[in-house]
Structure 1
Amino acid sequence: MNKHWMLAAALALATGTVAAENLRIIDETTEFVVTKANGQQVTITRTMTPCAKNKGWIQVMEPEPGVTVVGEIEILNALNDRDALVIDMRSQEEYLAKTIPGSMGIPYTEVATRLDELGCEKSADAWKCATPKKVYAFCNGPVCPQSPMAIHAMVREGFPADHIYYYRGGMLDWDALGFTTAPGDF
């Protein structure tokens, strides 16, 4: 390594002027150009912050037609609703470390094969969801693709979209608002 490069890198670290990594905004896009009323252009970027949960990308508000987007009040009420399940769709490790108290952990990679736990029955080659539970799905927050991917898979397999409630804020918003968390359990 060049001595001058090493000195410049050390100085940048010491002064906090290290170039931040631009994260994805929409799909693979890392920049969004806005033209202001005066004709000037501004480039909007996204970088990792201390409160961010991951380097995902911004998720749409409605991952599937018919899915209802909810906030914290709806999650709190769902936790006491016997016909509802609040499902943490993050990885098992994340769920076991910290989750919304009273939630159930089903990793996003498994939910489409576990619809029986959500009120559906498996026939020879398809799921029948005559009496599905109300499912409140969440993951790490607005930049986490885990629960939207799970929701797509659930609907593809026959789970009715109108029984899915997407808590887009997820653990990011839950933590930011100071709500109680607990280790997940089986």
Structure 2
Amino acid sequence: MKAPNAIHRIRSGLLAATVLLLTAPAFAETEVGITTDMAEFEVRHGDELVTVTRDQDTFATIDLDYAQIARPCPPFCIQPMSLGPGVETLGELEFIDYLQQTTERDDLVIIDSRTPREYQRGTIPGAVNIPWDRLHFASGADPDDVRNVLTEDFGAIFDGDFYNFSRSKTLVLFCNGPWCGQSPTNIRTLTNLGYPAERIKWYRGGMQMWHAFGLTTVEGETDG
């Protein structure tokens, strides 16, 4: 007959093994998953399908472009968690959920609000570039170009005087990170123009947190 302590150790070992099996990723070949049941996913970027994963090097560190922790404020000030009533702030997994939906929905746009140069150097797969100053009249935005973006890209209807946003698309915007004001500027510009706040989502973590999690980036698609 086994001693009580020995029986307790056996039961504890079996319990630990069961917990390990229940919590282990369902993808044994991938050491660094996105979640416990997601190792990767595909998103369309331009004409190609891109597989998004995390860096499998468990000793990898963040890209030096996003290692800087102090920038002059203003303009690089910490952004609030909420940009206004109705605008939803997204974490990484919620943002990934919208990325996955882009392969099935044509009423959803993922927007990199950074400069064209930043976008071309590296962006999140599936994102198109609408720089913050392209819609910002105080920064020299062309009213005709703004109207084209709203109607041709975002699905608004312009009757010559007013915009009708009843069929406008859901927009998910990001920029460099929680200290970056480019996507908040785009979002405030859009809501000031009457764009429905409930159709605007904000990935606050942006490129900084995307890099921090070692997720896939691609070169931005250009027209040229």
Same fold (TM over 0.5): yes
State the 1:126 CA deviation.
Answer: 2.7
Contact 1:138/1:168 (8 A) holds in 2 = yes
Counterpart for residue 89 of structure 2: 69
Taking only aligned residues, the RMSD between alpha carbons, in angstroms, comes to 1.8
State the 1:92 CA deviation.
Answer: 0.9
Residue segments in structure 1 that go unaligned for 5+ positions in a row? 1-48
State the 1:125 CA deviation.
Answer: 2.7
Contact 1:101/1:182 (8 A) holds in 2 = yes
2:67 maps to which of 41, 50, 73 = 50
Could you give the per-residue CA deviations for residues 113-150 of structure 1, whole angstroms, max 9, x where no partner exists? Answer: 12221121222133221111111110011000111111
Distance 2:203 2:70 in 1: 15
TM-score where L is the length of structure 2: 0.58
Counterpart residue type for residue 130 of structure 1: S
Contact 1:70/1:167 (8 A) holds in 2 = yes
2:175 maps to which of 131, 134, 139 = 139
Distance 2:95 2:135 in 1: 19
| Structure 1 runs, 4 residues or longer, greater than 3 Å off | 51-55
Counterpart for residue 86 of structure 1: 110
Counterpart for residue 97 of structure 1: 121
Distance 1:122 1:93 in 2: 31
Larger-gyration structure (1/2): 2
Could you give the per-residue CA deviations for residues 40-69 of structure 1, whole angstroms, max 9, x where no partner exists? Answer: xxxxxxxxx834495400111111211000
Structure 1 segment 144-159 matched on structure 2, within 5 A: 144-159=180-195
Counterpart for residue 30 of structure 1: none
Counterpart for residue 178 of structure 1: 214
Counterpart for residue 131 of structure 2: 107
Distance 1:140 1:169 in 2: 8
Residue segments in structure 2 that go unaligned for 5+ positions in a row? 1-65, 137-145
Aligned pair count?
Answer: 138
Q: 1:53 to 1:86 in 2, by over 3 A?
A: farther
